[in-house]
């Protein structure tokens, strides 16, 4: 075993947890020393698939001491994140928490404070920031190839995985919000959102989020767990080109050389054009490019970032502040949804 091996405990191993667990087990600098999950079926599953990993039902700090854990990965439902993470950090251990980091920005701030006062790494599982396609899209946007970014439209739809503890905005939109903050290198300043609940009272199944960014960029996010089709798509419209990231397609990223060019009226005459407005604008529909992307499993990259941040003693790409930014947007979304879609200011970053 490598000298700089980190002893890790995972809490929660339901739907998403097994993916996390596989990547922890496969990392050469990690020793997964135990799993904690309240569901007895998880114990049986782990016994069958990973017989050497001890499993316990209930979290307590003595158990972490007993396993000599240096870090903890939390993959439990969102409403449990804060209570677990604050204990982990306060006990002087590093912590990777699944998204959303916590249920309120106050909780996020308390986690950030606990981590910094103990010199620990706090990281949130915004997995898409470790996705090769998202990273390539960000590189393309930053290169200026799409021109000035006008707006974005994100859809994350499917039938199912209906949650009882949080609504669809808190469950699915953290992905798109964190992706957009990363792609645009900026946080939204205002949001307006509508959510509708059909299956459970007060828990929205479908939500439409409008995000305004400080430089005029606009984004619309549509999330639903009540839709016949699985759609995971983000469209970015720029002044020069447009990009479509389709996470369920084989070719995940497509760049369209499409746009609207302004002609210079001073150098031309009206001629056959119907009116002056038509005369000034010309639609452009050029070629399509599909960038070659060397795809790595995002969770593998995410787990590696956690370990590297610990060993290099530096903030992770998706650190506590990154988690807080997304939670602030989600808080504003909930406030807007409770006020019939009123435009709500997002609290400024720290």
Residues at the contact surface with ligand NAD, assessed by CB under 6 A: 11-17, 36-39, 42, 59, 75-78, 80, 98-99, 125, 127
Q: How far apart are CA 220 and CA 337, in angstroms?
A: 15
Q: Based on CB atoms, which residue is closest to ligand NAD, 128 or 213? A: 128
Percent helix, strand and coil across the chain, each to the nearest 5: 35, 30, 35
**Cα(31)–Cα(46) distance, rounded to whole angstroms?**
16
Distance in Å, CB of 9 to ligand NAD, minimum: 11
Rounded to a whole number of angstroms, the minimum distance from the CB of residue 310 to ligand NAD is: 20
Q: How many residues does the chain have?
A: 350
Q: Which one, 93 or 99, has the nearer CB to ligand NAD?
A: 99
CB closer to ligand NAD, 14 vs 315: 14
78-90 and 105-118 helices, crossing angle to 10°: 20
Under DSSP, the state recorded for 130 is G
Residue 340 C-beta: closest distance to ligand NAD, Å: 27
Match 């059909």 to its residue by tokens. 198
In this complex, which beta carbon is closest to ligand NAD, that of residue 2 or of residue 199? 199
Helix (H) / strand (E) containing 138: helix 132-143
Please state the closest distance from residue 286 (CB atom) to ligand NAD, in A: 35
Residue 188's closest CA among 6, 23, 347? 347
Residue 338: C-alpha distances to residues 57, 71, 79, 329 (Å): 37, 38, 20, 14
Looking at beta carbons only, is 125 or 320 nearer to ligand NAD?
125
Residue 41: C-alpha distances to residues 44, 47, 51, 347 (Å): 5, 10, 14, 42
Q: How far is the CB of 58 from ligand NAD (least distance, A)?
A: 7
- In the complex with ligand NAD, the residue whose CB is nearer, 12 or 195, is 12
Q: In angstroms, what is the minimal distance from the CB of 87 to ligand NAD?
A: 11
Cα atoms in the 13 Å half-sphere on the side-chain side of 73: 31
- Residue nearest ligand NAD, CB atom distance: 14
How near is the Cβ of 70 to ligand NAD at its closest, in Å? 19
Q: Which is nearer to ligand NAD, 209 or 242 (CB)?
A: 209
């Amino acid at each position: 075993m490598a000298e700089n091996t980190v002893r890790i405990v995972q809490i929660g191993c339901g739907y998403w947890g097994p993916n996390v667990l596989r990547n922890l087990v496969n990392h050469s600098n990690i020793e997964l020393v135990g799993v904690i999950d309240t569901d007895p079926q998880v114990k049986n599953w782990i016994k069958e698939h990973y017989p050497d990993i001890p499993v316990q039902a209930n979290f307590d700090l003595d158990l972490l001491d007993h396993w000599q854990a240096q870090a903890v990965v939390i993959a439990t439902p969102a409403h449990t994140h804060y209570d677990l993470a604050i204990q982990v950090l306060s006990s002087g251990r590093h912590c990777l928490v699944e998204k959303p980091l916590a249920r309120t920005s106050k909780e996020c701030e308390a986690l950030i404070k606990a981590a910094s006062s103990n010199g620990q790494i706090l990281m949130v599982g915004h997995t898409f920031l470790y996705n090769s396609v998202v990273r390539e899209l960000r590189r393309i946007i930053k290169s200026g190839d799409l021109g000035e970014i006008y707006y974005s439209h994100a859809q994350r739809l499917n039938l199912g995985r209906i949650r009882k503890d949080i609504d669809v905005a808190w469950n699915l939109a953290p992905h798109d919000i964190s992706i957009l903050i990363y792609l645009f290198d900026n946080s939204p300043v205002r949001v307006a959102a509508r959510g509708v609940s059909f299956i459970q009272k007060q828990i929205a199944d479908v939500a439409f989020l409008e995000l305004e960014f400080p430089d005029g960029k606009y984004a619309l996010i549509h999330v639903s767990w009540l839709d016949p089709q699985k759609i995971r798509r983000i469209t970015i419209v720029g002044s020069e080109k447009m990009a479509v990231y389709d996470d369920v397609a084989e070719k995940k990223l497509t760049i369209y050389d499409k746009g609207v060019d302004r002609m210079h009226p001073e150098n031309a005459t009206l001629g056959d054009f119907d009116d002056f407005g038509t005369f000034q604008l010309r639609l452009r529909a050029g070629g399509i490019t599909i960038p070659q992307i060397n795809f790595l499993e995002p969770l593998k990259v995410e787990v590696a970032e956690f370990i590297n941040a610990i060993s290099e003693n530096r903030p992770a790409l998706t650190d506590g502040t990154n988690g807080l930014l997304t939670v602030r947007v989600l808080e504003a979304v909930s406030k807007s949804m409770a006020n019939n879609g009123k435009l709500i200011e997002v609290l400024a970053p720290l």
